[in-house]
Amino acid sequence: MSLVTLSEVLKPALRDGYAVAGLVTLGWEDMRAYVAAAEAEGCPVILQAGPSCREYTPLPVLGAMFRHLAEGASVPVVAHLDHGYTAEDCHIAIDSGFTSVMYDGSRKPLSQNIEETAAIVELAHGAGVSCEGEIGFVGYSGGEGSARTDPEEAAQFARGTCVDAMAISVGNVHLQGDQQGGLDEASIRAIEAATEVPLVIHGGSGVPMAQRRALARGSSICKFNIGTELRMAFGHALREAVNRDATRFDRLQILGETHGQLVAATRTVLQALKAG
């Protein structure tokens, strides 16, 4: 069994200069491809259940799927709740066998975010589970704007919560489909100087691959969340499979043809972050 906590994969990453991919899952097809890619690359992987995934599939089902994949994997696999907005979300995830939860209080005042995140950290650690928090707010492409992370507030947040990983806002944006932006490295260095907690970048699909690679090896960023980039790869592969034969109706056959392309796209993501 290769099921591990977030802390178990991020501590070595911080120490040895690499990052681990937090891959946003939507269903069985992508999560099994992600594990296959991680095995091919010989690196750990974080399977993430975000809000849209949870709307479609209940957390207990997702937990069982993640654990099943981890038990048969040859590499470490983290079962992670992404953007848990309530204590109930985190409770259910922990009860469902997740090994890591993210409590997202980033829209709330600093003191409230610290208080609520600290309570989830205590709950998670009591169950042998890791906890990620967010300070600053990472916005959405075409939607809510970002609020940059203040280094002093980041230090206060880290001290007050004891989180195992800290998501920061330094120019990253959720749901960005291109890599035309980039992260503010001066802000990253200021946050690094203020705290020793492993840092997390949400909206990693919008970060140029070269910058991902450089920061994975030369900063405290130990986790890049990647969703949109791989959703696009899956969508492209699915469209090709559907259009290949208009008379086909067996969805298992059609979905099965997406696997190879999604594994290849995922391997490219992992190669930029892994050690070596």
Q: H or E segment at 168?
A: strand 165-168
Kindly give the pairing relationship between strand 77-84 and strand 100-103. parallel
Contact between 79 and 70 (Cβ < 8 Å):
yes
Catalytic option among 30, 82, 89, 150: 82
Closest CA relative to residue 176, chosen from 201, 152, 154: 201
For 22, 115, 138, the CA distances from 194, given in Å and listed in that order, are 24, 20, 20
Closest CA relative to residue 157, chosen from 215, 124, 199: 199
179 burial (CB, 10 Å; 0-12 / 13-18 / 19+) is middle
**Pairwise CA distance, residues 84 & 149, whole Å:** 19
Contact between 163 and 125 (Cβ < 8 Å):
no
| Residue 82 annotated as catalytic | yes
Query: What amino acid positions are annotated as catalytic residues?
Result: 82
